[in-house]
Chains A and B, each alone.
Chain A
Amino acid sequence: MDRRKSLKSIVLGTVAGGLAIHGCKPEAGSEELVESPKITYPGRVPLEEELLAELEEEQFLNPHEIETLTVLCDLILPGSEEFKAASDAKVVDFIEFMAKDNEAFQPDIRGGVMWLDHKCNTENGVEFKAATQEQQKAILDEIAYYDPEVPSNERPFEVNFFSLIRNLTMTGFYTSKIGIEEIGYKGNMPNVWDGVPDDVLEQHGVAYEEEWLAKCVDQSKRGIIAEWDENGNLLT
């Protein structure tokens, strides 16, 4: 039994029904084998689609882990009147996917949730997710900061666990639609680049040189077909 399957059966075996596992499709059956292997390629090749289907079929996080991580991620990026929360961007769904896509994350995530519960039970007699926010933050205050001069593989497990969840929360949030809006990224759409705005140049204390700008594209002529003289001077 490979590791993926064993983890899947751990989840299936230890958690009562109600767990949202995507419909258990049968493994590649005989009917697929007799079909002629006609390959059609969209933007994704079959091997990629197979991997994706396999990952989507699996469930790594159990309901308790999902609930605990939801609390934890919302402590990292909390919701407020001004900002959306990590949970608004479905960050835990992203962590679920990444844990399957990169199995190296799995023991740290699983063990990290156990660590949080053990710590919180010991200190407060309650699981992390059920503790008060004050109790939760008291635990985080001990693990959320690190000394960057100490190599990461020499830092305590719980510090690295929290760094991992913080990293995945930040990426999960800021690569979501609401996160991209918050960070203010303006690209990924057709436009015409015509240099850094003057106020930005001024803010950072740099300027364009006339000589350099003279070489650059005149965007009003971008639609005119290029023609050159025999020496390579652009005529149009």
Chain B
Amino acid sequence: MLKSPHLLGIKDLDEESIQLIVKTAKEFKEVLNRPIKKVPSLRDVTIANVFFENSTRTRLSFELAEKRLSADTINFSASGSSVKKGETLLDTVNNILAMKVDMLVMRHASPGAPHYLSKHIKANIVNAGDGTHEHPTQALLDTFSLQEKLGDLAGKNIAIIGDILHSRVALSNIYALKKQGANVRLCGPSTLIPKHIQSLGVEVSHDVQSTLQWCDAANVLRIQLERQQIKYFPSLREYALTFGINRKMLEELPKEIVLMHPGPINRGVELSSDAADSPHSIILDQVENGVAVRMAVLYLLAQRQ
């Protein structure tokens, strides 16, 4: 059983819990490959997917996971809500919970928004991404996908390449990977690497080529222009030339590496199309595993109720 009633981030999750979620996800993945993909585990549990920020794959993935578990689901997005009329986050959520909702899957642009809510509400909260802070289910599905390819991650070299400064995927992955004993190297323009990130026990590089040579797997991140309130580099063209990865670079490596991306891909920027579609890529496996991991998280949290 998980130790916390919420999944707010990987920071407060121990390795045992990470492995429990992955193990449970493996079982659900097996279920998802059966002709009848639905299990009754969360029958009579109502889950609200509350998204204050745009999302396609994460929201669909959660919704599908909930439906596969037989939960009742309701969806809420900020654009069609009272938020625009000035309602506070707490009021909005309390109104939803008053309709007898048991669990909340929330995405919000403010770092710490689910942590703030967790101090005020009783329902289980799953953080589906809070601004530039954490995206725990993404890191868990990345762990699951990596383990499928590389086995135990202890001692493995994992690179995270791109806009680290604005990435919740990077931070959650760093926590998850370090807890499993992996070596983590971050690579990107120096302006997009947090200055104190080495305190998390990671290496920093600004050279993509040597980073690719070093790693067993590269998790390539999107340039998050929507989160960049000020300029960090001259242009996407220059970024693609300096930090973009193409298939030729992958094929010239002395060993085959695993290529990951949390999506959506900016083709031609961080990844060329031929790299994204190469045999190195497990990008669609990540998407598939996402449903199983989210089923596992929801199932394990519901067990605490």
- Chains A and B form a bound pair: no
